[in-house]
Amino acid sequence: MNTVKSTLNRRQFLQQGTILTSGSFILGFQVPVQADSKVTVSAPLGSEPLMTDAFIRIDTDNTITLLMNHAEFGNGVYTSVAMMVAEELDIDWELLRWEAAPTEPAYFSPIFGEYLTAGSVSTAGAFVPMRIAGAKTRALLLAAAARYWQVSKETLPAIKGRVHSDDGRQITYGDLLPVIRAHGLTAPAQVELKESSEFKVLGKSHKRIEGAEKVTGQAIFSIDIKRPNMLYGSVVRPPVFGSQVIDFDATRAMAIPGVAKVKAIDAGVVVLAKDYWTAQKAAKLIAVEWDDLGRGHLSSEAFIAAYREMSNQPGMTAENIGDALEIHEQADTVFEAVYELPYLAHATMEPMNCTAAVTEDRCEIWVGTQNQGNDRTVVARLLGFKEEQVIIHRTLMGGTFGRRASKTADFITDAVQAAQGESVPVQIIWSREEDIRGGHYRPLFVHRLRGSLDQEGYPEAWHQRVVGQSIMQNTKHDPAYMVNGIDIYSVDGCLQAPFGVFPYGTTYQIPHHRIESHNPPKVGVYPHEWRAVGHTHTGVAYECFLDELAFHGQKDPLALRQHLAKDHARMSAVLARLRTETEWDSPLAKGRGRGVAARVYSVSPIAQAVEVTVNEDGGFTVDKVTCVVDCGFAVNPLGIEAQIQGGIMLGLNAVAYGVIDLVDGQVQQSNFHDYRPLRIHQMPEIEVHIVDSDAPPTGVGEQATTPIAPAVANALFDATGTRVRQFPLDRHGFTLIG
């Protein structure tokens, strides 16, 4: 359980934290005796709190705990969900606490139908259900107060965790619990939610609900987990991803004091020791013979060459509006470009890790995960258990960017297999090198684009072939995310019309628009979701080639996008706002440039304009990013701003430096010296503008990652006249200074 009080001094914080970790510690509560009085009486320790809803627990000390069914990994979802409940429940924000919900159907995502946090849909999916939960609990408490005071509940307002009568009496929510129990009261089946004009919490900026714990060091991430007699494990992983252990010699490792055992698991060879550093030291002394299963010749360069060749061949048709092929046959000039996007690692700041304890009939897991429903299923199958025998304790996460939504639950099964046969829990921590070389990456993609213009210089026909490994093919999500053999994530961000489960397109309208796809075999590495998934490559190729056509048609890049999106009201408003906020038409000095890109991801239109300064040697700075987003009703504007800043940072980092090279089946990068993170002094000024809206909230967590890379590339062209089509930028003439 985690406390949320942000105004406590350190002594109070520690005192309360001690109480909370041992459960509800209650010395007394007030029991109603008659309609006009209360008498304080003694109650035994551990007086039971009341679950008024699957998500809301009220304690007799008037604290309220929310069971969070969405994972918190820097996305701010705990805060958004708490705001939804607090609004309808009329609770003092400072009284809220939170804990992770168990892996039960009641807590499944209403959008995904499973226990999963992904796709920037948590706020949208929770907005109505969590408000209903708060409103039903409030109605129950008002009914209890009305029964207690023998008055009509319509006369009773609820204010900051108390019910007030018109004669000045008041009672806390916690004091009403005995009334609810005594009379067997239940929440109503139907409630009315507040109108947005009545909101006191929603739509206002709030600091993060878990922020105080992170600042004070009280927050628990999975790497912080300590269990009695726990062993630590370090895994010797294969140099060629996917290799299998033939044999190993652990003689030297076992001679190190503190090493308990060495054994083979699916991921490689694991050393179990008294502490992580001893396990790490011992792991380096193990000699392993590997079978690379014929993958030792694979390389990124070979993949790119093969994908380039494949992009010359017809692929599976994802979209065919009009007849782009015929228009191109008849056109005097057809422009063509090939964009290449490399593998990208997730590189989470908290390394991958998991703690597991396995007995004959139970497996207990402590882990930061986005996908605990799937994780439980995978582990249960691995152990031959029923799912209810697998208990997952979800913690906070120090970043994920999609990595902790692994369909194979690989970082969890490592710990489970390491703990099998042991009488104590085992924690597996991935080193930074293991993480960077872990083999789970944003897939490498090649895009071949061809376009022609009409007599007015606007795009008339567009033909794009997308080549890259499928993320969803042959996974549990295959039926929903594979359409006619096409992984919808491979082409998401290219299509003008909705496709599969994605109810949106680019918002652009080009009369003749054809998109084809190739899904090469999944070999060499494991294709995996990376923040914003398909848009991290489709966005770059599409928005940069759109700029190429704007240049050839002598059109202003922003004006071209406004023309193509003129029939989409939300995107039109976003682009118009961007033009105003950036003073787009004002000239820039020599050596400076502007670039723009606009995307729709998870329904939300977003556009960014970038200003850069470029030196003669290609060194550049990103001076300013102006971002306009329409994410429907802005639940927490401060949280939205933070998500946009973080998304811009990640996307800028990737376009500037991001690349994973595969040579002879082995990943060449290993740590932050050669898989470089952005430094704080390299961050641009960021200006965020949120479009006012009463529409239902839509996604914002991944949106800001999608336009920044193409906007930077377009700005560099504007400043220098040099077009980059292979990434990252620092390998092709442009180096982010710093």
Same-domain check for residues 615 and 719: yes
Q: Are residues 89 and 148 in the same domain?
A: yes
pLDDT value, residue 242: 92
Backbone angles phi, psi at 60, to 5 degrees: -70, -15
Domain extent, residue 659, equals 300-344+440-736
434 assigned to some structural domain? no
Q: Residue 92's pLDDT is what?
A: 83
Residue 158's pLDDT band (cuts 50, 70, 90): very high
pLDDT on residue 206: 95
| 517 and 641 within one domain | yes
**Which of 183, 216, 249 corresponds to the end of one domain?**
216
**How confident is the model at residue 94, as a pLDDT?**
75
Establish if 259 belongs to a structural domain. yes
**Other Cβ atoms closer than 10 A to 484:** 9
Answer with the one of 216, 233, 249 that is the final residue of a domain.
216
Q: What is the mean pLDDT of residues 318-332?
A: 98
How many other C-beta atoms lie within 10 A of the C-beta of residue 275? 12
pLDDT digits (tens, 9 = 90+) for 464-508: 999 999 999 999 999 999 999 999 999 999 999 999 999 999 999
The two tokens of residue 10 are 């350190």
Can you give the pTM of this predicted structure?
Answer: 0.92
Tell me if 281 is assigned to some domain. yes
pLDDT band at 47 (very low <50, low <70, confident <90, very high): low
How far apart CA 422 and CA 262 sit, in angstroms, is 12
**629/499 same-domain check:** yes
User: Does 509 lie in the same domain as 366?
Assistant: no
Domain co-membership, 77 together with 106: yes
Nearest to residue 213, comparing CAs of 99, 63, 126, 134?
Answer: 99
- Look at the alpha carbons of 416, 419, 424, 428 in this order and tell me if their dihedral is positive or negative: negative
Encode pLDDT of 667-698 as tens digits.
999 999 999 999 999 999 999 999 999 999 99
- 481/356 same-domain check: no
Among candidate residues 429, 452, 481, the one where a domain is terminated = 429
Find out whether 492 and 319 touch, Cβ atoms under 8 Å. no
Same domain, 286 and 316: no
Question: For 477-483, which contacts have Cβ atoms below 8 Å and span 24 or more sequence positions?
Answer: 477/407, 483/318
Residue 727 lies in a domain: yes
Tell me: pLDDT of 427 over 90: yes
570 with 702, same domain: the answer is yes
| Strands 56-58 vs 50-53: parallel, antiparallel or unpaired | antiparallel
435: in domain: no
Which amino acid would we find at residue 143?
Answer: A
pLDDT digits (tens, 9 = 90+) for 611-638: 999 999 999 999 999 999 999 999 999 9
User: pLDDT tens for residues 532-567?
Assistant: 999 999 999 999 999 999 999 999 999 999 999 999
Q: What are the φ and ψ backbone dihedral angles of 368, each rounded to 5 degrees?
A: -95, 115
Provide the pLDDT for residue 389. 98
Identify the CATH number of the domain in which residue 596 sits. Answer: 3.30.365.10
Q: For 97-111, what is each residue's pLDDT tens digit?
A: 999 999 999 999 999
Query: pLDDT value at position 481?
Result: 95
Q: Are 576 and 620 in contact (CB under 8 A)?
A: no
Q: Is the pLDDT score of 38 beyond 80?
A: no
Residue 3 has pLDDT above 60, yes or no: no
Residue 2 lies in a domain: no
Rounded to whole angstroms, the Cα distance separating 80 from 232 reads 36
Ranges of beta strands (E only) in 345-458 are: 353-358, 363-367, 390-394, 426-429, 440-441, 445-453
Is the same domain home to 152 and 280? Answer: no
Q: What is the mean pLDDT of residues 348-353?
A: 96
On whether both 447 and 484 belong to a single domain, the answer is: yes
Structure confidence by residue, pLDDT tens digits, 239-256: 999 999 999 999 999 999
- pLDDT of 566 reads 98
Unique residue bearing structure tokens 């001679």: 255
pLDDT tens digits, 288-315: 999 999 999 999 999 999 999 999 999 9
Banded pLDDT at 26 (limits 50, 70, 90):
very low
Q: Is residue 638 part of a domain?
A: yes
Number of domains in the chain: 3
Mean pLDDT of the chain: 92
- Does residue 421 sit in the same domain as residue 304? no
Q: Each residue of 258-267: pLDDT tens digit?
A: 999 999 999 9
Q: What whole-number distance in Å separates Cα of residue 138 and Cα of residue 219? A: 30
CA angle 350, 353, 354 (to 5 degrees): 140
Residue 644 covered by a domain? yes
Distance of alpha carbon 351 from alpha carbon 433, whole angstroms: 10
Read off the pLDDT of each residue in 708-736 and give the average, rounded to a whole number. Answer: 98
